[in-house]
């Protein structure tokens, strides 16, 4: 009888909490209506896209390069096929996955997170990353974000990759090492550089913080945008030099044609 009473009480309490959350949410929606992550139009749920913006997003699905996640325009027979660039010069990381291609509306969304103090978007975007990178999670021991140089971090006040990494770590119950990597020198922006120039620009620009930080660990590296893989490849090489067993990469956006 006591067990039945306790079960009934807990069920009632759970029902009451759900009602309370629902009322609180309704009040909040009246005061601060949910807005589209990309264009700020009104939407039904926080962290969602309006119909117009959703139609302009290209979420990455197979087929794509098994290593760098470059989307293929035509069907392929083998899911583990590589793009020409990876066959010619395979990156140091094991696999990379991305949520969507970096163009038009997606670019606006990423730049809001990166430069417009829309840090609240990280909580929602990390959930998208959790779905896109699900196949990687069983093989990793920890999460490390691509770092900013301390001068850029001081100007921006936050590292968008670290924000995404912290939320994702909570979602998938993996430890996050927010300062596991250091950017040892300030590098010029990668914008406008071709593949070879990007690689030279970031060569030797990263190092592991601490002797045993990633030793014998499989690392998931987090970044916002991947263009030619130069930055994440340089980070992966630094992690491997620091003792990591393997490095996988998860990003929000992948430039569909490197250099564009």
Instruction: Summarize pLDDT for 187-210 with one digit per residue, the tens.
Output: 877 877 888 888 888 999 999 999
- Per DSSP bridges, beta strands 206-208 and 142-145 are unpaired
Structure confidence at residue 82 (pLDDT): 95
The per-residue pLDDT for 11 is: 46
Tokens of 159: 């590292």
Per residue in 105-127, pLDDT (tens digit) is 999 999 999 988 889 999 999 99
Q: pTM for this structure?
A: 0.86
Separation CA 219–CA 247 (nearest Å): 5
- What is the pLDDT, as a whole number, of residue 6? 33
Question: Chain-wide mean pLDDT for the chain?
Answer: 87
Distance (Å, whole) CA 35 – CA 245: 42
Q: Above 80 in pLDDT, residue 27?
A: no
Burial (CB count <10 Å: 0-12, 13-18, 19+), residue 78: exposed
Residues in the chain: 260
Residue 103 contacts residue 58 (beta carbons within 8 Å): yes
Domains in the chain and their CATH numbers?
51-254 (3.40.50.2020)
**Which phi and psi (to 5°) does residue 181 adopt?**
-115, 145
Mind listing the pLDDT tens digit for each residue in 127-176?
999 999 999 999 999 999 999 999 999 998 999 999 999 999 999 999 99
CB neighbour burial string for 153-179, b if at least 16 within 10 angstroms, e if fewer: eeeeeebbbbbbbbbbbeebeeebbbe
**Burial grade of 194 (CB within 10 A; 0-12, 13-18, 19 or more):** exposed
- pLDDT in the model for residue 119: 92
Q: Decide the pairing of beta strands 246-254 and 218-226.
A: parallel
Instruction: Please enumerate in sequence order all residues whose Cβ is within 8 A of that of 107, keeping only pairs 6 or more positions apart, or say none.
Output: 253
**b or e along 104-141 (b: 16 or more beta carbons within 10 Å of the residue's beta carbon)?**
ebbeebbebbbeeebeebbbbbbebbbebbeebbeebe
For 238, the enclosing helix (H) or strand (E) is helix 230-241
| Structure tokens, 239 | 């992690």
> What whole-number distance in Å separates Cα of residue 238 and Cα of residue 110?
26
């Amino acid at each position: 009888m006591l067990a039945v009473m306790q079960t009934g009480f807990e069920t009632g309490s759970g029902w009451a909490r759900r009602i309370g959350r629902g009322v609180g949410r309704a009040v909040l929606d009246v005061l601060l209506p949910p807005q589209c992550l990309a264009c700020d139009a009104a939407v039904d749920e926080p962290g969602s896209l309006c119909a117009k913006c959703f139609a302009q997003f290209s979420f990455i699905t197979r087929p794509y390069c098994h290593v760098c996640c470059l989307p293929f325009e035509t069907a392929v027979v083998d899911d583990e096929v590589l793009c020409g660039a990876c066959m010619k010069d395979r990156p140091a990381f094991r696999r990379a996955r991305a949520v969507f291609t970096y163009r038009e509306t997606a670019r606006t969304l990423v730049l809001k997170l990166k430069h417009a103090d829309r840090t609240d978007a990280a909580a929602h975007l990390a959930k998208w990353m959790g779905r896109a990178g699900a196949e990687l999670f069983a093989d990793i021991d920890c999460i490390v974000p691509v770092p900013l140089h301390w001068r850029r971090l001081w100007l921006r006040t936050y590292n968008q990759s670290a924000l995404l990494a912290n939320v994702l770590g909570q979602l998938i119950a993996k430890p996050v090492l927010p300062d596991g990597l250091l950017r040892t020198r300030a590098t010029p922006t990668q914008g406008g550089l071709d593949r070879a120039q990007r690689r030279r620009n970031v060569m030797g620009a990263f190092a592991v913080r601490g002797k045993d930080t990633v030793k014998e660990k499989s690392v998931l590296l987090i970044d916002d945008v991947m263009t030619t893989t130069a930055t994440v490849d340089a980070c992966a090489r630094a992690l491997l030099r620091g003792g990591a067993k393997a490095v996988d990469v998860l990003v929000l956006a992948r430039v569909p044609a490197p250099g564009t």
